[in-house]
Amino acid sequence: MVAGVDYGLMRFAEAEVRDGLSHQMEVMRADADRHGTATLVQELNAETRNRDARRYLLLVEAPDGSVFSNGLTRLAVNATGFRHNLPNKARPARWPDQTPNMMTLSARAADGGLLAVGRDIQHLDELRGGIRRFALWSGLALILLALAGGWVSGRLFLRRLEGVNQAVGRIIAGQDSTRLPAVGLGREFDQLADNLNRMLDRQEAALTALKSLSEGVAHELRTPLNRVRNRLEQVAAGIDDVATRDEAIERALAETDQVSALFEALLTLARIENGSVGLKMAPVNISALTATVSDIYRPLVEETGGVLSAALPSPAVINGDAALLQQALANLIENAVFHGGAPATIEISTGIIDGKAILRVADDGIGVPETERKKVLRRFYRINQADPAPGSGLGLAMVAAVVRAHGGQLSLSDNAPGLIVEITLPRTP
């Protein structure tokens, strides 16, 4: 930048000097061409101020040998054109000799006389030296300021980074709830810390879910495995009664089937939640699917003394996996039958609201308290752990996973008495 300013400023200043010399030469040439060079010499010599003038140095040589000079010598000028003269020794005063740091312009008059005009340009060198001294000192000052600013900003950044490292250390030590502090050195760093904290939130949620899953699996497997062991111990004890022995083996096999069903449900639920299960998407008539599931489960509900009714006013077509939707509806009916309190009155209805398909299952059972409605959608969660009803606590979790996989919404509300489960699914155009 300084080099550019130096070059541009000097070119501008030199151009100004050349313009001034050219203008002065035009004036002198006009006088010489009009009256002659000899007359011009006489006029210049007649006025004392011409000899004392120092803004411009003049030299006029007439063909008759007469000369005027106020400090400009013949050796300092060319025959014609510009010439830049440099001093041949140090200048103790402003006008010490005939070869100052100056620029001259020479030309010939119409009668052949020599016209020359010069101007001292020492001030240009002084200006250039001032610019360079300013550049040197200001450059040193900028370097010192840059070093100081870099040191301060580096210390600040390292101090903020140390806080992040300490938070990471606490996370590594097992404090999963610790989050990274905002660095505060710009939007990009704060956004990075926010994204890392969101990642830690998801990781903590995943670890919590894994812990809950492990505890739930251990709890659900303990009872059936103990029963299997008891049956096998009875067989190993050598029961003499063949019928009793066969019954023990059948019960052990039934308990084994229950364990297998549990693992199969967990595997299916995990595949739905992580998207690895391939949904067989096709147009599905929710009303027809609801009628089919209602016909299948109506005898089971009636055996318990309950009533199952379906209100299917109009077809509601969506794009979805018929098998998974059928399983979700079956889970809702079984949940109402086994956990809602028998005998249960179950009402199933479908409809179209705001361009979306609605599937609603309502019962008149004991219902679910509002504080527990989000919890019952978790794996293995039961409001009453002592509930003897069959099941593994995966029914509503499976329903929620199926609804999410279809881009829908699941809501639980009070039926006063009982529970209303409403599923909203996007329709096929």
Domain ranges of the chain: 2-120, 187-274, 282-426
Read off the pLDDT of residues 397-428 as tens digits, 9 standing for 90 and up. 888 888 888 888 888 888 888 888 998 888 76
What pLDDT, on the 0 to 100 scale, is given for residue 408? 87
Parallel/antiparallel/unpaired status of strands 307-311 and 345-353 = parallel
The CATH topology of domain 187-274 is Helix Hairpins (1.10.287)
Beta strands of 113-217 (E only): which ranges? Answer: 114-120
Read off the pLDDT of residues 304-317 as tens digits, 9 standing for 90 and up. 888 888 887 777 78
Identify the CATH class of 2-120.
Answer: alpha beta
pTM of the entire structure? Answer: 0.47
Read off the pLDDT of residues 43-84 as tens digits, 9 standing for 90 and up. 888 876 665 556 788 999 999 989 998 888 888 888 889 988
Q: In what order do the strands lie in the sheet containing 81-85? A: 67-69, 57-61, 114-120, 102-108, 81-85
Is 282 a residue whose pLDDT tops 90?
Answer: no
pLDDT band of 372, cuts 50, 70, 90: confident
H or E segment and range at residue 13: helix 2-35
CATH of domain 282-426: 3.30.565.10
Read off the pLDDT of residues 213-244 as tens digits, 9 standing for 90 and up. 666 666 666 666 777 777 777 777 766 666 77
Structure tokens at 325: 């939707």
